[in-house]
């Protein structure tokens, strides 16, 4: 019947495309849609003449009773639709699996690549050149190898082009970003093909095929065709992403706006000589991403929905805050911790000594960082986007770290019989002051990056309202953080629960340090979470004033963290099975939170 091929689409390709669209819709950016449309256009125009030639040469045929009728250059409408829908499905899967990956960290050049990587790239090129030569020979010879030859002659040059430009990048990308989006749709299309060929929806003529089946009636050539086309789509997507990563990572090479690049900018980015990449920046970004992934699952997930340069700068800001906090927290003695604060202050003094902040990449700053900080922390200081950030919140953050140190006034910063005598969080005002210093500052710094990178420029009045709200939201997040970490903090002789709250329950901070999991602590945790959600409620609606292009991601960042508070409330505490200091929200729940937020925007 004439609807056989149509029914293949109705049963197998359209529902899958629909499902992927439904799941991905909230995450799709304008850039995702543009690159998918361009790739569909390229796939269509590159496949049409080739397919048309195959049909006219009689390599494959469509029984008239399996197709509806209309053709373009001899290619049936259903087949034309196949070019589009296959490219769409594979592109959507690629986009979905690549969302968590920050592509900047995979930029590389010859010098940065190991001998093995260089060998793999050359081997790939040789394989593709060889594939083309074998294909040409098979076509010239004719007979059983014709169809395979035509596939190789057609696919290898496109693959060689993308591989030669983006090979190092593709090799560096994780397995889930490249191999999965090639293999999953290939396997799916193999199954569909097996069903379609089994039903005679299309057929390969016996004189032009090798006659070998991979399994069932799936011909070797068909299996290779689907593998090759999906690889071409994924390589094409990766080539776009490499260009975009170059634009986003190296503002000095592309000073203008990188949000909606022109085709000319994209081509320039593809063609820029990788030897010109600032690899110290790429390596610093790699270190920052790895730090974020290890230390904060909530912000790591949230970071994946931020666009381009804003995402990079937020991750660099995170890296700075994390490194500074860890240097102080992990010091063996109070004196060493104070030394770190002094050195960090020196760093800020140097950067902000003139009216305008100097770039952290300034030679003087670089040499100061190299002289004073451990190698593993240097990139976090050198790459902080200081030109986009005011100095006050950074200095204030350091004041917050000083408050942490006032717990160890006895000189006994660890386990032992002597517990601290002073507890700096005496009441709610102290708690709020502490949260303002360590978290409101972070909220404000995030906002300055948002103001810089957003397409929409806000009036200074609106900016002031937003900054105030971000500071209030900082309190909320910090209270959740303290509520989660009561036992972890007690292990470091620290109690951030206000001493007057403890007194109301007949407790002292020492009682918390000795028994942080006692039942009464749950009342105090509940009280702190109530305060957190009050602060959250006071500032959440102001987030609607954020520019549309950054609003969704910012809300995701906040909601992912507040979800920790919701879980703590539901479970009445930190499950004893959870790793100390780690988020208590399962990954699937965090993804759902992000998805819901973005769907509602």
Ligand X SMILES: CC(C)=CCC/C(C)=C/CC/C(C)=C/CC/C(C)=C/[C@@H]1[C@@H](COP(=O)(O)OP(=O)(O)O)[C@]1(C)CC/C=C(\C)CC/C=C(\C)CCC=C(C)C
Q: Which residues bind ligand X (CB under 6 A)?
A: 292, 295-296, 299, 302-303, 306, 314-315, 317-318, 321-322, 325, 438-439, 442-443, 446-447, 466, 469-470, 473-474, 477-478, 481, 539, 542-543, 554, 557-558, 581
Q: Which is nearer to ligand X, 282 or 469 (CB)?
A: 469
Q: Enumerate the β-bridge partners of residue 204.
A: 60
The CA dihedral of 69, 72, 75, 79, to the nearest 10 degrees, is -80
Q: Which is nearer to ligand X, 354 or 541 (CB)?
A: 541
Residues 102 and 312: beta-carbon distance below 8 Å: yes
By the 10 Å C-beta count (0-12 exposed, 13-18 middle, 19+ buried), 28 is classed as middle
To the nearest whole angstrom, how small is the minimum distance from the Cβ of residue 390 to ligand X? Answer: 15
Q: Which is nearer to ligand X, 29 or 52 (CB)?
A: 29
Q: Which is nearer to ligand X, 274 or 443 (CB)?
A: 443
Cα 598 from Cα 590, distance rounded (Å): 12
Cα 440 from Cα 467, distance rounded (Å): 9
Q: Which is nearer to ligand X, 66 or 529 (CB)?
A: 529
By the 10 Å C-beta count (0-12 exposed, 13-18 middle, 19+ buried), 224 is classed as middle
To the nearest whole angstrom, how small is the minimum distance from the Cβ of residue 489 to ligand X? Answer: 9
Q: Which is nearer to ligand X, 39 or 323 (CB)?
A: 323
Which three-class secondary structure state does DSSP give residue 505?
Answer: coil
Name 15's Cβ contacts closer than 8 Å, sequence gap at least 6: none
To the nearest whole angstrom, how small is the minimum distance from the Cβ of residue 142 to ligand X? Answer: 59
Residues 213 and 191: beta-carbon distance below 8 Å: no
| 60-61/218-219 β-pairing | unpaired
To the nearest whole angstrom, how small is the minimum distance from the Cβ of residue 403 to ligand X? Answer: 11
Q: Which is nearer to ligand X, 108 or 539 (CB)?
A: 539
To the nearest whole angstrom, how small is the minimum distance from the Cβ of residue 292 to ligand X? Answer: 6
To the nearest whole angstrom, how small is the minimum distance from the Cβ of residue 101 to ligand X? Answer: 14
By the 10 Å C-beta count (0-12 exposed, 13-18 middle, 19+ buried), 64 is classed as exposed
To the nearest whole angstrom, how small is the minimum distance from the Cβ of residue 564 to ligand X? Answer: 8
To the nearest whole angstrom, how small is the minimum distance from the Cβ of residue 152 to ligand X? Answer: 45
Cα 578 from Cα 582, distance rounded (Å): 7
Residue at shortest CB range from ligand X: 443
Residues 368 and 347: beta-carbon distance below 8 Å: yes
């Amino acid at each position: 019947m004439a609807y056989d091929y149509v029914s293949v689409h109705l049963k197998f390709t359209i529902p899958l495309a629909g499902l992927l669209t439904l799941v991905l819709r909230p995450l799709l950016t304008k850039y995702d849609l543009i690159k998918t449309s361009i790739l569909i256009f390229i796939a269509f125009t590159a496949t049409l003449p080739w397919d048309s030639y195959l049909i006219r040469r009689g390599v494959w045929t469509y029984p008239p009773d399996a197709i509806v009728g209309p053709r373009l250059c001899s290619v049936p409408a259903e087949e034309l639709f196949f070019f589009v829908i296959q490219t769409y499905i594979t592109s959507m899967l690629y986009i979905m699996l690549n969302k968590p990956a920050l592509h900047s960290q995979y930029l590389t050049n010859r010098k940065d690549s190991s001998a093995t990587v260089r060998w793999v790239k050359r081997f790939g090129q040789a394989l593709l050149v060889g594939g083309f030569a074998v294909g040409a020979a098979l076509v010239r010879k004719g007979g059983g190898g014709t169809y395979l030859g035509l596939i190789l002659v057609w696919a290898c040059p496109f693959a060689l082009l993308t591989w030669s430009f983006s090979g190092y990048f593709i090799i560096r990308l994780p397995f889930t970003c490249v191999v999965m989006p090639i293999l999953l749709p290939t396997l799916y299309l193999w199954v569909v093909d097996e069903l379609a060929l089994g039903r005679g929806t299309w057929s390969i003529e016996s004189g032009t095929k090798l006659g070998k089946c991979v399994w069932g009636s799936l011909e070797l050539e068909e299996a290779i065709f689907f593998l090759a086309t999906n690889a071409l789509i994924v390589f094409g997507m990766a080539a776009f992403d490499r260009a975009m990563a170059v634009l986003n990572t190296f503002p000095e090479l592309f000073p203008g706006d990188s949000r909606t690049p022109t085709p000319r900018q994209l081509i320039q980015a593809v063609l820029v000589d990788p030897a010109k990449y600032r690899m110290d920046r790429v390596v610093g970004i790699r270190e920052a991403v790895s730090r974020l992934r290890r230390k904060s699952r909530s912000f790591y997930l949230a970071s994946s929905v931020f666009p381009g340069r804003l995402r990079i700068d937020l991750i660099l800001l995170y890296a700075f805050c994390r490194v500074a906090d860890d240097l102080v927290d992990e010091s063996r003695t109070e004196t060493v911790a104070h030394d770190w604060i002094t050195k960090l202050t020196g760093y800020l003094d140097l950067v902000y000594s003139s009216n305008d902040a100097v770039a952290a990449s300034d030679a003087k700053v670089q040499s100061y960082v190299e002289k004073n900080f451990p190698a593993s922390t240097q990139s976090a200081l050198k790459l902080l986007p200081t030109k986009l950030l005011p100095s006050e919140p950074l200095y204030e953050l350091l004041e917050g770290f000083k408050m942490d140190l006032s717990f160890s006034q006895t000189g006994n910063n660890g386990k032992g019989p002597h517990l601290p005598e002073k507890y700096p969080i005496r009441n709610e005002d102290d708690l709020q002051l502490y949260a303002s210093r360590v978290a409101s500052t972070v909220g404000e710094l995030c906002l300055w990056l948002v103001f810089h990178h957003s397409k929409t420029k806000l009036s200074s009045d609106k900016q002031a309202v937003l900054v105030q709200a971000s500071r209030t939201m900082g309190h909320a997040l910090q209270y959740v953080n303290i509520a989660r970490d009561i036992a972890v903090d007690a292990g470091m002789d620290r109690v951030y629960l206000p001493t007057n709250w403890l007194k109301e329950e007949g407790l002292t901070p020492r009682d918390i340090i000795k028994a942080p999991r006692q039942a009464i602590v749950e009342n105090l945790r509940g009280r702190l979470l109530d305060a957190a959600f009050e602060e959250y409620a006071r500032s959440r609606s102001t987030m609607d004033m954020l520019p549309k292009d950054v609003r969704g991601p910012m809300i995701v960042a906040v909601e992912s963290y507040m979800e920790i508070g919701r879980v703590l409330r539901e479970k009445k505490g930190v499950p004893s099975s959870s790793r100390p200091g780690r988020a208590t929200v399962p990954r699937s729940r965090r993804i759902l939170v992000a998805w819901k937020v973005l769907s509602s925007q």
